[in-house]
Amino acid sequence: MIEGFWLWLAFGLLSATTFLTRGSFIMAGEKGRLPTLLQRALRYAPAAALAALVAPDLLLVQDKLQPFNPKLLAGIVVTLVALRTRKPWLPFLLGMAVLIGLRKGLGW
């Protein structure tokens, strides 16, 4: 266990690292502009991160790839309904209805 001086040194170094990496963009101001191509690419970062979190859960069943499973079909329904209607509650309701229907009704 770290105690005393070394603990405070670790806190200080971690705080400085966090401050410098996050604050560097604020401190640089207008002089620190990212290239236009990189700015355009970073617009897709949130969608890519979300896809990286959701895709494994939709495609894997008990750590094995199963492309035809109830979660994937419900995810496809959610995506189609969300793109079509743009209502926040409807994809959730229909996706859960499809998932429950496939699991309970068809026994998937």
**pLDDT tens digits for range 9-46:** 999 999 999 999 888 777 777 777 778 999 899 999 99
When pLDDT is cut at 50, 70 and 90, the band that residue 66 belongs to is: confident
Domain residues of the chain, as ranges?
5-33, 44-105
Mean pLDDT of the chain: 89
Question: Could you tell me if residue 107 is left (phi over 0), alpha (psi between -120 and 50 degrees) or otherwise beta?
Answer: left
User: CA-CA distance, 14 to 47, in Å (whole number)?
Assistant: 29
Whole-number Cα distances in Å, 84 to 69, 79, 88, 103:
23, 8, 11, 25
Q: What is the pLDDT of residue 107?
A: 75
**96, pLDDT greater than 90:** yes
